[in-house]
Each structure stands twice: as structure tokens, then as C-alpha cells.
Structure 1
Amino acid sequence: MNIYRSVRAVTNASGTGIVDWGAVAEAAKASTPPGELTLSDAERTGYKTDVQDARERLQTVGEVEFDLPDTIEIQNRHHWIDANIETFERVMHPIEEKGGGVFPGVARVANTGTMAFMLSFLGKNVLGQYDPLLLAEADDADHGLYFVHPNIRRVADSLDVDYPRFRRWIAFHEVSHAAEFGAAPWLSTYLEQRMEEGVEALSEGSLDRKAFRELDTAMTSVEGYAELLMDRAFDDDYEDLRRKLDARRRGGGPMAMLVRRLLGLGLKRRQYERGAEFFHAVADARGVATASKVWEHPDNLPTDDELDAPERWVRRVA
């Protein structure tokens, strides 16, 4: 880790955009140890088996058909940062097109530093990721499934939990997202449209509340349904893993807590909880197959009001 190189990359940010993405990548990686990525044969087999078992179990429990992404990678932290730079750049593009304001050089340095800090923090903490490659230019862009191996090992050790079991739990969670996007071919486009509308409005200096509200309810459904499938498909009870991981997320020093708040990670946790309550209520009343109807058509997504009144969604959809 080289903090000096990281700061130098930010302060030397250049180009015509409001973010120097090359400098973001350099600065984020300079301030983030890559982590060990030497895998034993047993670990490689373990990852492969975990993903395959997760697909089979989730298909059975959710009564949904889906394929795994062609791109499945076991990464170190630098690999994860590189994979996500392109996503952040695509999302920011509408805002970048509007220019850098009165002091473009100053804005570029500040924005580059902010993005580098955010990717560095996430790169040190992300365990796994299902990446639908939103806003990718290629129409046939494949989705991706990533496991950040150094973080998985470190967190398993810090929580004092069995590493293979923890790794398998992460695999089941990320593959559950592959189940959702596989069962709903329209979902990527739906999220992209709301994201584009919201970011475009921000670039014009306004706030498209409808687009962001629809994006939030859709992501709440994505996270909540994944929790339902995890509960029904994982090998055993994992309340101990969830409890310890939640305690870890709430812990840390004041700086870590501030960063989580600024990055909206508390909101993401609320999406998990609210979405899980909704889908568990539906599944308990009508079965998992009924809950899976959410992916048959965009109109089947719950509204914000229905998320707190699942019986209304059941009457409308099921």
C-alpha cells in the first residue's frame, strides 16, 4: 500500500472529464493492499462446487430456471477495483458530459479523490458480487460473478467462523442474484432505464423522485428475494453467520461508520430487511413459487406501499 502514490495520482488528475478514471484506478489500488490470491486445489474445487450446488438448490427451491454467468472470477482486491471502474464510469457518463463547472481542474481532483476513496473502501470490504454489467455498451455483454478471496478469508478469520462454510454462504447469496436476473431477462433493462433517468435528471440539476423510488423498490425486491432463497436453499441455519456479520458492519471506528453512512450501506441493509420481510410473508402464505412470480413481468414488482402490505401484492399478482 502506497498512500503517497495514491495522493499523487489524485492531485495529478487530468483530462477533460470531471473524473480522471485512470487516476481513480491508480489511486484506489495504491491505497488498497491487493491481498493473497494463491489458492490450493481444494479451494478451487470448493468455489466451483459451492457455485454449482447453489445453482441446483436455488433452481429447485425457487422453481426458476437460470444459467450461471460465463464470467466467474476469484479475484483479489485490485481485480475487483478494475472490474468496477468501468461500471462507475458508465453510470457517471451523463454527468461528465455536462462539464466541470467554473473550476474544472479543482472539481476533477475532488471528484477523482472521492471516487478513489470509495472504491478503495469497498474493495477492502466486498466479499462477493453478482455484476449485471448495467449500462454496458455491448448488447450481448455477459453478466459477471466475482468472489474477492482475500476479503472472504480475512472476514471468516475475524468472525471466527468456519471458512469453507462461510465461503459457501457467500456463493449461495451471489448465485441467488444470478437466479433473479436469469429468471427476469427484462430486469437489467428496467434498472438501467431508471438509473439513466435518475442520473440524467441529476446532471440537469434536478431530482427525478419517481425514477429513484422505482429503482429503490426494484433493488429492495432483488435483495429481499435473494434472502428468501438463501433461507430456503442453504444447507443449514446461518443465523450465526448473519449475526456476526451484522455486528461487524455496525462496528469499526467513527471513520468506518461515517464512510458506510456516506456510501448508503445502511440503506442497503434496510433493503435486505424490508425486502426479506415482504417475500417471507408471501412465501409463508402462498409458497416460494408465488413469490417467484415477481420476475415474470415488470408490472409484478411490488410498489413501495405493497412492500409493507404483502397481502395486497398477493391479491394483485397471484
Structure 2
Amino acid sequence: MSADSDSGTDEVPVGARIDWSVAATVGRRIARPGPRTTGYTLNQAREELFDAARRAEAPVREVTGLADGLPVPAAEVLDRKEWISAAAQSMSSMLGGGLSDEEKPSPSITGRVSGLQAGGLLAFLSGAILGQYDPFTPDRQSGADGVLMLVTPNVIAVERAIGAVPSDFRLWVCLHEVTHRVQFSANPWLRDHMLDNVALLTTDTGESGAEALRRITESLRSGRKRESGVLGAMQLLQTPEQYEAFSRMMMLGTLLEGHADHVMDGVGPGLVPTVGRIREAFDKRRNRPQNPLQRIMRALIGMDAKLAQYIRGKAFVDEVVATVGMARFNAVWTSPETLPRPAEIDEPRLWIDRVL
């Protein structure tokens, strides 16, 4: 028996075994500093992001028809190290399977090693995240689930890189992230749906290495149609139940991101004068060539799959809204059963026929 053995860990979600305090510490230590800027410019950007997040709420609610009458919580405007701390807390909550701090296992050698690895990933992501709606972390002011986070140095870095008008770019970023806040605020069941599927994905199946190898070999021999790239690897490596949960999460993410992009196109031209230039420059930046290390990291964390989500999801929302209108489209938020299925994302008429 190794020093890392812990009786009963089979019942503990994999994510709960990661030492997230180590992840946060390591991530903060190795995170790259933000762009050089004066204190005045940094404070001005922070204040403008606070204000932009507040101003974005009303037009997003008007276009979507969601969350009307609910309170508008303030956003949290963070630096990279603050985002790492918040993200580690969120990951602990999301991947902990609902366990309280007292129920989670004591930190172990494996947990600390996993924490080191997670810290490296958080450090990498801390330089890429512009904004994020986190449905798993309580708002510090209201105590309600969910907080909108905006990462000031990254916003400044990108607006400089693409030559955007700062005030326009900051509002543009907030429109996207506020749409996510509206989605979850108006439909609280989305959070539980995500947690249920994450629990399936992170549960230790008890499958031995030999059993997993046999299952993968049989799948390869069967000739069944599989996805390509990272998605195909996930399909092979996960149990059928886990892959179904993974597919549901992918479809939900595709809907959420596509809906947010649709809303940005609907709201943006009236609020952001240079939205056309921002969209063009931002898309070029997202698709520009990366060095080999960046390409590997993008593949490992699924960033390319996420970019595909924006495109497929927006096309789905665009077509459904154009066909039936936003009010009827909003039936998609009724329950897990009304979310689009994989075949329906690329054939919106199938979703319309099934749900409407």
C-alpha cells in the first residue's frame, strides 16, 4: 500500500481529490504579469468594466426576453492572480461532487501533484480569459449562486493588440459575459444540469486498466462511427455513460456560446459604434497561427472545440430565431429535454419539429 492510499476514495469524485489550494498557490506564483500600464490607466479600465457590465444588462435582457425583473449584481473585476484564486475555488466546488470541506479527503501526495498540474493550467488560462460567468461561486454581495468575473489586464492586452477603441471593446466583452449571466439567472436549473453531468464525468468508474484497454480495443474493432480529433479520443477513453454526459455538456456549451454571440450581434451595433472592426480583428486574432506549445495547450484544454462551439451554436440560434422568433426560441430553456441534441445543432429544423 502506497503512502497515498486512502480508504473509501472510490466514492470520492476525482476532482475532490485535487489539492486546489496547491493549484491556486502554484498558479499565482507562475502566472505571467499583465501588460505594462500606469496605475491610472489600470484603475480607469477597472471602473469602466464595472460600469460596462452594469450597462450591458438591460439591452441583453431586452433582446433575449430573459431575467426580466431580477436584481443586477455587480461584476468582480480582477487581475490574473485574483482570477486564479477564484477559478480554483470554482473548480473545487464544481468538481467536488457537492461535498463539504469536512467531507473532502485530506490532502494527499497524489492530490498535491494533481494540484501542481492544475496550477500550471490555471496560470496558462489566466493570460487568456477576458471574462467569465461562473455559476458555481456565490456572489460575495448577495450570496446568490453565480458571479461575473472580468480580467482587467487581459482586456487591456487584447484591446491594444487589435487596436480597438478601449471603451467599445470593454462593453463588447461585457455584452457576451452578461448574456451568460442572464442565461443562468433566468434558468437556475442549468447549474444543476451542469453539476449532474460533471459528476458523471468525474466519478471514478472503478474500471481497471485492463478493462479499459479491452473496451477501447473492442470499440476500435467494431467499426462504429466516431468523432474526429479530441472528441474522438474522449469517446474512446470514456465509458459510454461518461461520453453521453460529455456530449450533453458539449451541446449545452454550444448553445450558451452561440446564443451569446447571437445576442452580441443583436445588441452590439446599437451600443458599440466600432463593433464591426472589433469582431473582424478579434476573429483574426482567435484564428491566427500559434507556436507548437500553444497548439498543444489549445488541443489539451479543448480551445479549438470551443471555437467551433461559437460557430455551430450561433448558426443554430440564428436560424431558429429567424424562423420562429426569440419568444418561441426561448422554449429551449425549459428543461434538459428541450436542449438541442447533437444532430439538431447542425439541423435546426429537427429541433423545431421536436420541441415546437
Whether 1:285 aligns to 2:332 is no
For the residue of structure 2 that corresponds to 1:252, the secondary structure is coil
Please, which runs of 5 or more residues in structure 1 have no aligned partner?
1-13
Distance 1:253 1:265 in 2: 15
Report the count of equivalent residues: 298
Give the match for residue 174 of structure 2.
171
1:52 offset after TM fit, Å? 2.7
RMSD: 3.1
Deviations, residues 189-219 of structure 1 (Å, cap 9, x unaligned): 1111111112115575652122111121111
Distance 1:276 1:37 in 2: 38
Select 2:283's aligned residue among 238, 246, 249. 246
Distance 2:171 2:250 in 1: 28
Whether 1:181 aligns to 2:184 is yes
- Is the Cα contact below 8 Å between 2:45 and 2:152 reproduced in 1? no
Code of the residue aligned with 2:351 in structure 1: it is: W
1:188 offset after TM fit, Å? 0.6
Give the match for residue 193 of structure 1.
196
Whether 1:295 aligns to 2:297 is no
Decide which moves more: 85-94 or 145-154.
85-94
- Is the Cα contact below 8 Å between 1:54 and 1:171 reproduced in 2? yes
Whether 1:54 aligns to 2:56 is yes
Give the match for residue 30 of structure 1.
29
Give the match for residue 216 of structure 2.
none
Larger Rg: 2
Distance 1:37 1:69 in 2: 31
Structure 1 residues 215 and 202: CA distance shift in structure 2, 3 A: farther
1:248 offset after TM fit, Å? 2.4
Select 1:262's aligned residue among 300, 305, 309. 300
Code of the residue aligned with 1:245 in structure 2: it is: F
- Is the Cα contact below 8 Å between 2:56 and 2:175 reproduced in 1? yes
Distance 2:74 2:94 in 1: 21
Distance 1:61 1:75 in 2: 28
Distance 2:91 2:276 in 1: 33
- Is the Cα contact below 8 Å between 2:95 and 2:199 reproduced in 1? no
Give the match for residue 211 of structure 1.
245
Alignment of 1:1-318 (within 5 A): 19-35=18-34, 38=39, 43=45, 45-66=47-68, 67=70, 70=73, 72-93=75-96, 105=109, 107-108=110-111, 110-133=113-136, 141-201=144-204, 207=239, 208-234=242-268, 235-236=271-272, 238-250=275-287, 251-318=289-356
Identity of aligned residues (%): 27
Deviations, residues 136-177 of structure 1 (Å, cap 9, x unaligned): 9xxx64210111001100111111111111111000000000
- Is the Cα contact below 8 Å between 1:302 and 1:313 reproduced in 2? yes
Distance 2:302 2:206 in 1: 20
- TM score, norm. by length of structure 1: 0.82
Code of the residue aligned with 2:23 in structure 1: it is: V
For the residue of structure 1 that corresponds to 2:76, the secondary structure is strand
